Amino acid sequence: MVSLSGTLDAWSEQDVRATLKELVDGGRPRLLLDLGPLRRIDSSGLSTLLSVLKAARAAGGDVVFLRPSAAVASVFRLTRLDQIFEAYDDEGAALARLSA
């Protein structure tokens, strides 16, 4: 599990993108991202999450989100990415989804 905290925006997205892509490219295409500590996300952050999701799926894996904060969940809904991203409040359910 990888935990994202603070803000995922234009200033932080390059480091986050590189770290997550390194995990996927290094043979870990199934990622559980804990978004509970993430307080704010902008379009650059959304682009990062979409990019990592695409890379994971291309590698035969997937990305599942755990406990997105209210602010992050709201952005997912407003951008309709809640229809693409899978988010769970229960870690067991999220892990079961990744194992399927």
* Distant-in-sequence contacts of 70-78, Cβ < 8 A, 24+ apart: 71/39, 71/40, 71/41, 72/35, 72/38, 72/39, 72/40, 72/41, 75/41, 75/46
Strand-strand pairing, 38-41 and 87-88:
unpaired
The CATH number assigned to the domain with range 2-99 reads 3.30.750.24
pLDDT 10s digits, 3-25: 999 999 999 999 999 999 999 99
Q: Which residue has the tokens 């043979």?
A: 27
List the chain domain ranges.
2-99
**Res 100: pLDDT:** 78
pLDDT 10s digits, 13-62: 999 999 999 999 999 999 999 999 999 999 999 999 999 999 999 999 99
Give the closest residue to 6 by CA, choosing from 71, 53, 76: 71
